[in-house]
Chain A
Amino acid sequence: MKLIYTDSLIIGAGLAGLRVAIATKERGLDTLVLSLIPAKRSHSAAAQGGMQASLGNTVKGMGDNEDIHFQDTVKGSDWGCDQDVARMFAHCAPKAIRELTNWGVPWSRISAGPRDVIMNAKKVTLHEAEEAHGLINARDFGGTKKWRTCYTADGTGHSLLYAVDNQAISMGIPVHERIEALSLIHDGKRCHGVIARCLVTGELRAYVAKSTTIATGGYGKIYEISTNATICEGIGQALALETGVATLGNMEAVQFHPTAIVPAGILTTEGCRGDGGILRDKDGHRFMPDYEPEKKELASRDVVSRRMTEHIRKGKGDDSPYGPHLWLDITILGREHIETNLREVKEICEYFLGIDPCKEWIPVRPTQHYSMGGVRTNATGESPQLKGLFSVGEAACWDMHGFNRLGGNSVAETVVGGMIIGKYVADFCEQNALEIDTALTQKFLDKLQNEIDNLVDGKGTENPFEIKKEMQRIMMNYVGIFRNGPELDKAIAELKALLLRAKNLGLKCKKRHSNPELVEALRVTRMLKVALTVACGAAARTESRGAHSREDYPQRNDKDWLNRTLATWPNDESLEPVLHYEKLDVMKMELPPGYRGYGNDNNIAHPDTEKRTQEINKITAELGNAPDRYALQQALMPYTLPSHLQPANERLSDTLAVIPSQPVGNKSL
């Protein structure tokens, strides 16, 4: 048995994983990262639009602060998030931005003086303050009160990932590439590392560590059409699920992005709409104002995706061989803007569609994009059930996104979460000894070896590629943007049947090293379990919240469903997860549930909401006329952060003599 020991083991070399690796390496801990691919190829690189942080440098961001970012995030989550975590996040986001600047991210900067922007399909001239010249710029994104999304043209994720990976390289953090973690070593209470397979040689290795951090991203590829990379298959979630101990949280919360191109399903950034692009139907009509007169194209992603789907169902979509779609029109932004700030979008249009987006509309439709659910952790990033198991980024349900994530908050979560959780991981490694139980390790390794032997030498006949395709089709058809009881039940029944078939997988290619079919076969069973937790969670949740939208239960039901779904997988023979629920305590919320600002306000209120609102009013009144916002926040919902992350964030508006006037057309909320 090949054993490799380390203090801090991280699975996944995207932004979140690397940021944790840096945090533990900084503390002198032996750190090791496993990755399916070279670190710089991670899916973080595909994030185009930007990262939210309340810097408030641009005139349209003036007056922004942690409070407003926090409120936007909670509303965006449809009150499904953990408000402590959302607070920790909003406070540290500006710090992460500034740290990244010191690591080499260039960020697009502000030029003082007038600049023309497109707002609500009209040209508006903004005047940037002299003092803001050269500071980090921000663009508008959906569901935000201020312009808060910092960006590097439309390659934000790319420039961040390169800076963070470069930093990791400079610190000598080893990344074991083309290694796939396939099971966690654990004793039911503590996680001791992973059993992993080398995708080149096929060798099985045990990586034994004090802490194991899952940072493997989302599970978008359980859907047929997704903006996700081919590697986002939910194997990280499956690792935790298969322990039977650790839980997955809110797996049914799956986000659909409004504007992925048809048919390839490749993302065009929300920055297109943030910068002034609009959506049109087959008649060329701009339809979003009909549905959301206030926020129009820049409503929250879940809302825009649903409105688009509704509009297509009314027969207003343009037909194509791949089904109906709508149009994204960025021609109004002008060639210069597109060629500097939306270059990736332009390239994608040219290569995959053969069109020039400066002149032609882009065919788009809502497409699976993000997984709000994931490995459930507490605020320190650790699994509440399995000591030593941490998770961060999209892989985790740290839970700052609840049931819908705001655009620009995912990139932000990776680096902010990595920064905070990395500190807690390092603490854990310092406070705990490495426990090496070779018998236990051997047991897990033998189990995986057995699984591989059965696949290669067994008599199975099922084709892993076919089963995967079938699963993706089921998820697409029955667990999509709009969901209902009968379809979800159908999905569960079919997925279970597939899981049974998957026990009889057989391979045509019998190689034990570099065998893509074996890789697929090992993954598909795990993906099916993840898909089942999504489908079962969705079937059980008889309400609509954020991205989880039930046609048969269209109301948000705080009375019965203000909670977090937790899923465990009982044992190897089970065909479905066991669901339990974790209540969200309204009495501890800084922002009690309320109207989100879209459609009808027809929520079923939680009995404590009224009580908590009065309590908040009382606390606020006690603090006097114009209470200090930090003191008020502390009084309403105290939260903890590592001490080095506690200082307040400096902003331009702290020192600016004259706050520039807001131009007309400012968003009201």
Chain B
Amino acid sequence: MSEKTRVPTAINGGPFGQAWSARADCLQSLTGALLGAFLLVHMHFEASILLGKETFYRFVQVLEGGMFSATGHGWPLVTQIFSVFILVIVVVHAALALRRFPVQLGQWRALRGFMSNIKHKDTRAWYWQMITGFILFFLVSAHLATMILDPEIGPHLSADRVYNGHAWILYVVFLPVVLVHGLIGLYRVILKWGVSNNRSLIRTIAQVLMIYLLCLGSLSLITYISIGSELTLPVQPFIPK
């Protein structure tokens, strides 16, 4: 029977009104896209160690504003400030993403029920994105805390942190988790706003990137570990020839 029964009333975007939900959605996508883009750049930046200590050093030098400093080394403060900036974006992104989490038990049950009854790949992908997002919040915090408290970056200093500081344990987990989260996120944000409607192409690119970045990241990590294992204590910063 379709006599008029109770019509569910819209939440209209919570305490800040309707416009808030639009802004929240835009901001979540924007911060996500920004973090995703940063991830792609970051992965390549640290992989420059594969081209030798010298290349990596030059990169750090440029990024830390070497050309403006008297010594030519730049200031680790730049890393610190940038890390704080990224942390702020991550916090905003995470706070907005929390809206999507199944916070009530009923919602969680509905999701689990859905996952077991309906076979749908993209929903499964989102599910993993959500799980990895949750894990990432801790991993990113840990990673960024290091960068803020101990911002010295360099072929030797970084390798030392990875090897002697046992940060490799963090990165072994971090790498796949951040790639799963970031690439599924980029794929979805592109489709979400209709940047491209060629879904199969975007999916293929995401899959290729996933494999490529996983290899790239693993190789870089192995390189740092091997550099770290060859270092003599106490570690001296790398000096280019």
Contact = CB atoms under 8 A, between A and B. Distances in A.
A179 B1 contact: yes
Determine the interface band of chain B, counting residues with CB < 8 A from chain A. Answer: under 10
B122 interface: no
A176 B3 CA distance: 7
Contacts of B2: 38, 174-177
Contacts of A179: 1
Interface in B1-38: 1-4
Interface residues of A, number: 8
Contacts of A176: 1-3
Contacts of A177: 1-2
Contacts of A175: 2
Contacts of B4: 172, 174
Interface string A23-42: 00000000000000010000
A172 B7 CA distance: 14
A178 interface: yes
A514 to B, nearest CB: 14
A177 B1 CA distance: 4
Nearest to A178: B1
Interface in A32-90: 38
A177 to B, nearest CB: 5
Contacts of A174: 2-4
Contacts of B1: 176-179
A177 B5 CA distance: 14
Interface in B88-118: none
Nearest to A39: B2
Interface string A174-191: 111111000000000000
B1 to A, nearest CB: 5
A38 B3 CA distance: 12
A38 B2 CA distance: 8
B84 to A, nearest CB: 54
Contacts of A38: 2
A588 to B, nearest CB: 45
A200 to B, nearest CB: 8
A178 B3 CA distance: 12
B2 to A, nearest CB: 5
Interface in A607-663: none
A176 B4 CA distance: 10
A175 B3 CA distance: 7
A465 to B, nearest CB: 28
A108 to B, nearest CB: 25
Q: Identify the interface centre among A38, A174, A179: most chain B CB within 10 Å of its CB.
A: A174
Interface in B199-213: none
Interface in A322-344: none
Nearest to A175: B2
A38 B1 CA distance: 8
A176 B2 CA distance: 6
A178 B1 CA distance: 7
Q: Identify the interface centre among B2, B3, B4: most chain A CB within 10 Å of its CB.
A: B2
A482 to B, nearest CB: 45
A178 B2 CA distance: 10
Contacts of A172: 4
A174 B5 CA distance: 11
Nearest to A33: B2
A515 B1 CA distance: 17
Interface in A568-585: none
A573 B6 CA distance: 48
A38 B4 CA distance: 14
Nearest to A200: B1
A650 to B, nearest CB: 38
Nearest to B3: A174
A444 to B, nearest CB: 22
A424 B1 CA distance: 28
Contacts of B3: 174, 176
Contacts of A178: 1
A175 B1 CA distance: 7
B133 to A, nearest CB: 40
A175 B5 CA distance: 12
Interface in A157-204: 172, 174-179
A11 to B, nearest CB: 15
Interface in B71-98: none
B5 to A, nearest CB: 11
A172 B2 CA distance: 11
A447 B6 CA distance: 36
A660 to B, nearest CB: 40
Interface string A487-521: 00000000000000000000000000000000000
B63 to A, nearest CB: 54
Interface in B44-79: none
A179 B3 CA distance: 13
Nearest to A35: B2
A179 B4 CA distance: 16
A175 to B, nearest CB: 5
A295 B240 CA distance: 93
Nearest to A176: B1
A647 B3 CA distance: 37
A496 B142 CA distance: 86
Interface in A465-497: none
Interface in A128-179: 172, 174-179
A113 B35 CA distance: 53
A177 B4 CA distance: 12
Given A174-B2, A174-B3, 8 more contacts: A38-B2, A172-B4, A175-B2, A176-B3, A177-B1, A177-B2, A178-B1, A179-B1
Shortest beta-carbon contacts, A-B, top 9: A176-B1, A174-B3, A177-B1, A175-B2, A177-B2, A178-B1, A174-B2, A176-B3, A38-B2
13 contacts: A38-B2, A172-B4, A174-B2, A174-B3, A174-B4, A175-B2, A176-B1, A176-B2, A176-B3, A177-B1, A177-B2, A178-B1, A179-B1
